[in-house]
Amino acid sequence: MKRLLIPAIAALFVSNAYSLGSVSGKVKQIRVDENGRTMIFFDKPLSGDPAACSDKENYGNALAVDASTDGGKAVLSMALAAKATGSTVTAYGYGKCGLYGGNVVESWNHGFLL
């Protein structure tokens, strides 16, 4: 019974990891507001299962970060470097919104500069 249960639990966690919005593309545009809220726009739309709260028509190719935090500053630095060099970024959403009125753009979870 244990042999069947462990793979089933592992599959549950793996499927949840990929049920969020994700993108692998070039940074097209970066918007930074005076309060530090930032949107990073990519050259292609989020795939997977982007957050239901996001405005997919207008922001379907963007993820949001709070650049007034240390983590947000790190993400913004990575996005600026990617934009300047034309490098590809692979990024994953958090599965929820909250930085832009709660219903505009999915929040950034983690990403990689390739």
Q: How many residues does the chain have?
A: 114
Q: How far apart are CA 52 and CA 36, in angstroms?
A: 24
Domain spanning 2-113, CATH class: mainly beta
| pLDDT for 45 beyond 50 | yes
Condensed to tens digits (0 to 9), the pLDDT of residues 87-97 reads 999 999 999 99
What confidence category does residue 4 fall into, taking pLDDT thresholds of 50, 70 and 90? very low
Q: Which of 44, 46, 58 is nearest to 19 (CA)?
A: 46
Provide the pLDDT for residue 61: 96
Which residue ranges make up each domain of the chain?
A: 2-113
Q: Which of 32, 46, 48 is nearest to 99 (CA)?
A: 32
Output the pTM of the full model. Answer: 0.81
Residue 84 CB neighbours (<10 A) = 9
85 in Cβ contact with 61 (< 8 Å): no
